[in-house]
Structure 1
Amino acid sequence: MAEGTGMSKALAGGIGVLTVSSVCGLVLMTVMYKIQIDKFPPVSPPTPTKPVIPTGLPPTLRLPDYLIPESYKVFLQPYFYSAITNNYTNQSFIFTGNSTVRVKCMEHSKRIYLHVHDLNVTTVEVTKSDSNEKLVVSGYKIHQNESNFLEIQLKETMSGHGTYYDIFTKFEGELLDNLAGFYASWYTKNIKFEHNYCCLFLFTVLHKNVSTNRFLATSLLKPTDARKVFPCFDEPALKAVFHITVIHRPGTSALSNEIGEIDGEEWIVTTFEKTPVMSTYLLAFTVSDFTYISKSSGTNIHIHARTEAIEAGHADYAIQVTENILKYYQNIFGLKYPLKKIDQIALPDISAGALENWGFISYQESGLLYDKKTASSFDQERVATMIAHALAHQWFGNLVTMRWWNDLWLNEGFATYMSYIGVQDAGWDLRDLIVLREIQTAFQVDSLNSSHPLSLQENYIQTSAEIIDLFDDITYRKGAALLRMLATFMTEEAFMKGIKTYLDKFQYNNTVYNDLWNCLQETKENVEAFMSTWIEQAGYPVITIITQTGETSQEHFLLLIHSNIVNFLPNSIPWQVDIRYIKSTDFAVKNELLRVNVRRPHFELKDKDDWLLANVNCTGFFRVNYDEENWNKLRMQLERNHNVIPLINRGQLIDDAFNIARGHRLNVTIALSLTKYLINDTEYIPWESALKNLDHLILMFDRSEVYGPIMKYLRKQITPLYKHFEEYTLNGTIPEKHTEQYNQVNAISVACSSGFPECIEMAKSLFKDYRNGTNDIHPNLRRAIYCSAIASGDEYDWEFAWKEYQRATVTAEKDKLRYALTCTKEIWLLNRYLQYTLDPSKIRKMDLVSTISYIAKNVAGQPLAWDFVRGHWSYITQEYGISLGSLLDAVTKRFSTDVELEEVLEQDEDDQALAARALEQVIERTEANIKWVKENKQIVKEWFMGEL
């Protein structure tokens, strides 16, 4: 890929030619303009009443509402060649284009505002649509601030009352390689999987040629980058129809939201059918030499990928899954998929797992392609889950779109929740795992003062940075968790009936969350009353039940309680909580609605041996605390016969206890005691829940004397689980049940990392055979085996794995090796690996965040990763076009000292603005960790010492 000065010279040459042409054009336009003005001087429109004409910039960063876009005609022409040969030596990484947007004007005005960012606009014309009368443009300006406004000033006034105008612009831009906007990328032709980035508006240009490297251009439009490609009204509610034409080099072909083709001679002109009415961020198209497979079952389904992948059958699984889930969604949503076709494309260089472009979905290769010879069952599950999520968006987000980004959860929360339902029709029963993956993860962020409500007021979210901040665990995971809670409260049948009404009523339109409540209330009353505080109020409650009296209370659960909490509703406005519970004397699930703190006779236990368990199957988004006596009864029940406690609740009890202890409401020894029974449990959900919470203890204490006793206890507890799966592991096989396959991997990872000799020797032996080519490792186990072997190995093991990573052609395999390389304890290797992340020829840009995060998880790598991120903070954001929010979270998880807090607080104000909310959350989490460690270090140490 062209980098540095290579790209700049090519750009300079291209822009030089375009500049001369532009100057000549401007001179000619000036002469013609003067002739036309002298011949037809402008006449002011009649003004029987003097309207209020907007002047100056709008008062907010939102576009004024008096112009409503109806359609766009967009022409785009990237100038680069996909391959450099003897015939093509003048590579130019620029693009030019023009756009005509037809708008309806609702108020008199002399100003027009559109969005433009990082584009050079060379021509602006405004014409009255019905008469083709040109309005005189007295000037235009791109505001270089957060508004990204292109302000067009007119000499005469546009008429309101629904008059139509056409706004024509010509523009040019640079194809950077920063994974944002319209940018350049590359891939290696002879390697099956590597390359390309795409998003809501996507270009990929590839060429059939003998040279190794192929250049391409792609674009990322979500959420606010359509303005980087062409001037537009870049807000989700300003939907329009799009007519797209791409002019591209010979030897290439094009795809888009709708398909049609016209060939030229020296250039190929590809014109697409008009799109449905849609938001700007959902545009997508590509120009490539990819091949595809197709299937028709009412809707034409195409899977596009590199020729090597298609010929190897790697797209076969995806096309079958797509057909199954698409039919299933059409059935349960009661609406046919509205387009004639759905294209899906595998793009190895894309920062998001998948992008839900309407009718043309783009994925990371590992999210769409499945190689049954080398991929694990977890890789296969990921393909099905990613497709289910992206297809759900075709209804939730594309057909019905949130009005503004403050209600993003209406898109992402729904797609996340529905993916667990949709994937069932592809043969995956993952519904219980939503507790581990979504609910428990959302709890962590939502227990901070710096969390945010699921739906904020519109005026709170205006800048692009504020919009990007909303793509977080609250929006995706809490959104999904609350929808699951609501479906349980209503019954799933009633919930889906209301969803059908919602989709049918608002198709092709935009909504706010109250529109959803209104539709759901047609099937069950009081939905709005039940859900209002859950949506409008940040955080969640901890329900405390005193079983001796039945007294029940709720309070806002926070890890760190500040004296002046201003971003939450006061606790006098309680959540409505649907408490589902069972007793040891009656296992029939019962439920109670809790609005205020009261005494509940239902929760009172008469017999000293009875216990109560609330939040059955963790359907409610809240934690439950009990009196110490009930906690001990539940612990004893787990130790006597854990199968009496529902599976999900075995994980929930552990997660609740540890986090309630972190919130200073429970003695940590009670939480620790709940893990003792696991020596007899082989189920994945409770083990995964326990390991996540014990991992937090490890992060807090792995640099202190407490670490040794923790590892000895963990080794003792994990040994029976390791032995349970040992025969499978040694035989290179896996259990049939999917969750057992996950737990087999847990057993290997934890046993080896905690120093269990048999596990370490097993991993080293398998890795040695793998190096010698005498034995293969089952794909399910490779990530754990590679990591364990490299952690206990030397630099030669690391170098071997690095070469294997470079040689690997399947992205899923590359990902396993890329992770394993972070497991070494050698500081110099980790430092070198960090430097590799800045070189896209070694570590793809899309993998930078996860690679550094993996290194930070390693106790030897954490300080290196933190210093690295601080040293390259601005560079990574500017050069790589990414937010540092997830990076900040990853490299500071271990922070629990005053010195580390000071380092976070010392970040420059300019740097803080790049990830303001994430930095605020890191500061609060670090403060909470400091306080908790100071109070509990000795208690934790003594407990583990007592268990040895």
Structure 2
Amino acid sequence: MRKGFYISTPVGVVAIILCAGALATIIGLSVVYSQEKAKNNDVAPTEGGISTKPPATTSVPSNDPWDNYRLPKSLVPECYNVILWPRLTPDMTTGLYIFTGESSVDFECAEETDLILIHSNKLNYTEFDNKILANLTSLTGGKAPPINSSWLQDVTQYLVIQLDGKLMKGHRYRLYTKFTGELADDLGGFYRSKYLEDGKEKIVATTQMQPTDARKAFPCFDEPAMKATFNITILHDHGTVALSNGEQKESGNYTINGNHVLKTVFEPTPKMSTYLLAFIVSDFDSISSNTVNDVLIRIFARRTAIAAGHGQYALNITGTILQFFEDYYNVSYPLPKSDQIALPDFNAGAMENWGLITYRETALLYNEDFSSNSNKERVATIIAHELAHMWFGNLVTLKWWNDLWLNEGFASYVEYLGADKAEPEWKVKDLIVLNDVHRVFAIDALASSHPLSSKEEDIQTPAQINELFDAISYSKGASVLRMLSDFLTEDVFKMGLQTYLTEFEYGNAVYTDLWKHLQMAVNASGITLPDSVRNIMNTWVLQMGFPVVTINTSTAVVSQQHFLLDPDSEVSTPSPFQYQWIVPIKWMKNAVNHSTLWLQTESANIDEMSVSGDDWVLANLDVVGYYRVNYDQGNWENLLRILSTSHSLIPRINRAQLVDDAFNLARARIIPTVLALRTTKYLYSEREYMPWQSAMNNLDFFYLMFDRSEVYGPLQDYLRKQVTPLFEHYKNLTGNWSSVPDGHMDQYNQVNAISLACKTGVKECHNLTATWFNQWMDTKENMIQPNLRSTVYCNAIAAGGADEWEFAWSQFQNATIAIEADKLRYALACTKQPWLLNRYLEYTLNPSLIRKQDATSTIVYIAQNVIGQSLAWDFVRARWSYIFTQYGGGSFSFSNLINGVTERFSSEYELHPLKQFKADNAVVGFGSGTLALDQSIERTMGNIKWIAENKQNVLDWLEAETKYTSH
């Protein structure tokens, strides 16, 4: 692609269109576009040739089909022909960026009807005769019934077409439309991305259809089960390249209304869902290679990024990961190409469009001079996540969004397997425990959590669908599937996956279809389970939450109960299993592994787990089970003794588990908080990353609760004592910080050592970070190692003043490497100057300063700063309507904003305004953050109780531990 775009077939081959009949020529600019259309107005305009439904006489919901969010089953799409012409310069009259297009969809009538409902959102239509918005013809013979009326139903996002007569069952028809849309900067549908290159502003026309925004690009049956083939044609300026899901079939000069453009036609797609469509126009460059199966792999990005080699790492590992998944699924990659493109503006991390995967620049591009090892890992895992979807999600697709967890949870699990294949020395598979299991435990332990699988009828609106893109679907889904793979064995798990994919390829399925195929694999393998796969897994899928398994080693009684962070919270969600689970328990006794045991009832006697004296039991080996573990006091004491004397006898993942379980059991008032704190005493001798990261994650809660109280000083003293040996270890290991540790996990823990040392006031650490940052300011040459930049920038800015902040801001504004810009954007929120934080908050409302994709995360960064938390909360409350309109309604990450600005709340003075915020903005709404708001209220109430019960005990223990080192 560096020397021009790739043509997949010889020039001159006549293109074959699968749908019968040829497309009409593209409409010109004569379609009048409403000048009064607001950029992000949810209501479609009524000017410019739009025929709208007559005003409703009542606001009460009707029983009319067009007031239902779900499509009727009467029409089944077969294929689409779509031509789109995006303008990469603003319209001279309106100042808006627009696209024009025309589309025809061939469909079969499955049930006799006189109504056509097809999704449409924010599109202006050209009128045909009698102000009708579409043209209908028959493909079976005879005439189609005439169209009586047509209008746009804004709330449910339909183009409604009423007919004078019935469509006949079994007959095929074609619906044709011409339309104009805005190429807005709203990050959804067909939208525009803007960037600077060589001092020149450039525009990219790109897409993000998932979950319900294909309807913003062209009228379509926009539900995942409505699979069809798509023939895409793009008109675009000379000097630009068009991409889509299919291979390029032909491209050449084309003239329309005196405009000389290129016309690029793509091969028909396989049968697929609308949310997987993608089409992009840019002047990007690319690099390419072929896999062993001759699949063309291409990496597209800004020309300067490609020239600098920033796409090479992604290219190097994509083939390896693609081959891994072909072997894993035992199904060949179903397309001839795999394009991956890095976009300057992209709301999600990446999107699995079939054959054309879109990414944030930070998720695809790697530059060893700027990218840390965590950035490199993110590139590997996200590529693996998206490639996993090429089969699981794209080839076989969920029937409806209520099963989103299976799609995203599966990819979130196997991304670690794919990344491990690409980088086996990293041992990245272990990190799912920190990144997913522990992460989602915090949410799933709330009474306001939700089951993995929702009822189909409960998920109707776009906002409800967007709300499912949360940690439960991704991280809990990954965790329970990992548990399933473990107790089935990976070979049996893969066997079931392979027959599942074969049966449902190019079709749709529900999660129980996978259980059926896994059960077939179990039966064929001869392994023994305590119940069927379906019955075991339904206890994890159909009820929210998870158990805490309590093992009493003196009585050999093992029991389970629903784990709640606040045991007093009211669980209003009914459970079909009364909050009991079928629990696989992998365990060891005295460092010797034992076979898996199953807990199927509330409690049971398991004699093998009886111990006495200094013997000890450890359950949930490698945290493959989705549950927490508690023990009798005697076993806890023996485990603490082993940690302090011979911690290597306990696997490092389980050392991380002991810390995490203990702190959360203490928050739930199951064990004393002091017992949890005692699990951190051995860290003085710990050098492994996972236990340290687990401890830091949990001690962050203590900072959130106590960094505004008298507990803060002793907490600082204690952690300074614990981290100093780790800081000295890495100082020596790296030759006084002059080199980078060899191991992947060691590199992570070096960052932890510096971060916590500076946070707790180790003077040498402050001097170190200030010196490095000041050298950069003085010499304008940044010699700080990429791994250390985020923590060095943050600590230097926190310790400095306006000069340091302004320098970092100028570096951010001038950064041409997205990952470096991200590090600076995070660090700018670390300042202790309230006026700078307030100014930074205001910048988030200006997309020319902070990109829209980064606005909510920037506000969260500021809220994580103890100085900035109240400022961010006031800012969000004061500007809620604007923030919600601009960033909230359809943003997958929007729930993170609400959680982020409220996570420190721990007093009645904060709870009351939070509840008032919910009441005051009920009319505006909270969109995909609705559930997050309820969870924030519940979490705040739990924090208030926890502080009341624990503050004095924590203070006393910390003071006792630090009395001889306090100063």
Match of 2:371 among 375, 397, 414: 375
**CA distance in structure 1 between the aligned counterparts of 2:822 and 2:655, rounded to whole angstroms:** 32
Q: Tell me the alpha carbon deviations over residues 73-97 of structure 1, each in whole angstroms, 9 at most, x when there is no partner.
A: 1121223438x9xxx9996522222
Secondary structure in 2 matching 1:947: helix
- The number of aligned residues is 882
Residue equivalent to 1:700: 705
**Equivalence for 1:96:** 100
Deviation at 1:344, TM superposition (A): 0.7
Q: Secondary structure at the match of 1:735?
A: coil
| Amino acid paired to 1:559 | L
C-alpha deviation, 1:132, in angstroms? 6.2
Measure how far apart 1:901 and its partner are: 1.0
Equivalent in the alignment of 1:264: 254
Give matches, 1:165-564, under 5 Å.
165-190=173-198, 212-258=200-246, 259-260=248-249, 261-265=251-255, 266-297=260-291, 298-427=294-423, 428-524=426-522, 526-562=532-568, 564=570
The CA distance in 2 between the partners of 1:713 and 1:677, in whole Å, is: 12
Q: How does 1:900-939 map to 2 (within 5 A)?
A: 900-907=910-917, 908-914=921-927, 915-939=929-953
**In structure 2, do the counterparts of structure 1 residues 570 and 90 end up closer, same or farther at CA, with 3 Å as the change threshold?**
closer
Alignment map for 1:759-778 (pairs within 5 Å)? 759-773=765-779, 776-778=783-785
Confirm or deny that 1:730 pairs with 2:730: no
Letter in 1 for 2:206: T
Secondary structure of 2:254's match? coil
Contact 1:14 1:94 in 2 (8 A): no
CA distance in 1 between partners of 2:202 and 2:689 (Å): 44
8 A Cα contact 1:125 1:135, kept in partner: no
Cα distance in 2 for partners of 1:507, 1:801 equals 51
2:655 is aligned with 1:650: yes
1:136 aligns to 2:146 (yes or no) = yes
| Aligned-pair CA distance for 1:22 | 6.9
SS of structure 2 residue aligned to 1:135? coil
2:69 counterpart of 1:64: no
Whether the 8 Å CA contact 2:448–2:571 is kept in 1: the answer is no
Q: CA deviation at 1:59?
A: 7.5
Q: Is the 8 A contact 2:352 2:389 kept in 1?
A: yes
Q: Give the conservation status (yes or no) of the 8 Å contact 1:901–1:923.
A: yes
Cα deviations by residue, 1:291-319 (Å, 9 ceiling, x for unpaired): 11111121011111111111111111111
Distance in 1 separating the partners of 2:160 and 2:758? 62
Residue by residue over 1:2-60, the C-alpha shift from the partner in whole angstroms, topping out at 9 and shown as x without a partner, is: xxxxxxxx9667999xx99976x99xxxxxxxxxxxxxxxxxxxxxxxxxxx9932674
Distance 1:223 1:744 in 2: 40
In structure 2, C-alpha distance between the alignment counterparts of 1:647 and 1:894, rounded to whole Å: 30
Q: Deviations over 1:264-315 (max 9, x none)?
A: 1413222211111010000001111111111112101111111111111111
1:11 touches 1:92 (CA, 8 Å); kept in 2? no
Does residue 79 of structure 1 match 2:73? no
TM-score (norm 2): 0.88
Partner of 2:573: 567
Q: Distance in 1 between matches of 2:748 and 2:504?
A: 41
CA contact (8 A) 1:581 1:613 kept: yes
Q: How far apart, CA to CA, are the structure 2 residues paired with 1:737 and 1:572?
A: 46
* Cα distance, 1:142 vs structure 2: 1.7
2:796 maps to 789
Is 1:114 aligned to residue 108 of structure 2?
A: no
User: Which residue is 2:954 aligned to?
Assistant: 940
Paired letter, 1:909: A
User: Deviation string for 1:743-787 (max 9, x for gaps)?
Assistant: 000010110011111110111111111222266111111111111
User: Deviation of residue 809 (structure 1)?
Assistant: 1.0
Letter in 2 for 1:217: A
Structure 2 unaligned regions, length at least 5: 1-31, 39-44, 52-61, 127-132, 524-531, 963-967
Letter in 2 for 1:245: T
How many angstroms apart in 1 are the aligned matches of 2:822 and 2:558?
48
1:610 aligns with 2:598: no
CA contact (8 A) 1:605 1:611 kept: no
The reply to whether residue 639 of structure 1 matches residue 650 of structure 2 is no
1:148 — aligned with what? 157
Identity %: 48
Q: Structure 1: which amino acid aligns with 2:885?
A: Q
CA distance in 2, matches of 1:618, 1:826: 42
Q: Which runs of 5+ in 1 are unaligned?
A: 1-9, 27-53, 192-211
Q: What is the deviation of 1:144?
A: 2.4
Matched letter for residue 158 of structure 1 = L
What is the CA deviation profile of residues 709-768 of structure 1, one whole-angstrom value per residue up to 9, with x for unaligned ones?
111111110000001101327333111010010000001011001111111011111111
* Paired letter, 1:407: D
Per mean C-alpha deviation after superposition, the further-off stretch among 813-822 and 213-222 is: 213-222
Q: Secondary structure at the match of 2:520?
A: coil
1:168-199 residue CA offsets vs partner (Å, 9 max, x unmatched): 122222222222222333211216xxxxxxxx
2:787 equivalent to 1:780: yes
Question: Which segment is superposed worse, 861-870 or 175-184?
Answer: 175-184
Cα 1:729–1:776 change in 2 (3 A) is farther
Partner of 2:909: 899
Q: 1:623-634 residue pairs with structure 2 within 5 A? A: 623-634=628-639
Whole-Å Cα distance in 2 between the matches of residues 792 and 709 of structure 1?
Answer: 21
CA distance in 1, matches of 2:281, 2:730: 48
Mapped partners of 2:753, 2:699: distance in 1: 14
> Structure 1 residues 595-604 or 788-797, which shifts more?
595-604
Which letter does structure 2 place at the counterpart of 1:519? H
Q: How many Å separate the matches in 1 of 2:861 and 2:36?
A: 41
Q: 1:834 to 1:418 in 2, by over 3 A?
A: same
2:818 is matched with 811
Take 1:912 and 1:946, find their aligned partners in 2: how far apart are those partners?
Answer: 49
After TM superposition, give the deviation of residue 590 of structure 1 in Å: 2.5
- Structure 1 residues 106, 573: CA separation in 2 closer, same or farther (over 3 Å shift)? same
Shift of 1:503: 1.3
Tell me which of 862, 865, 875 is aligned to 1:858. Answer: 865
1:371 positional shift: 1.3
CA deviations on 1:214-251 (whole Å, 9 max, x unpaired) are: 23333321100111111111100100001111222333
Q: Tell me, yes or no, if the aligned pair for 1:181 and 1:226 is still in contact at 8 Å.
A: yes
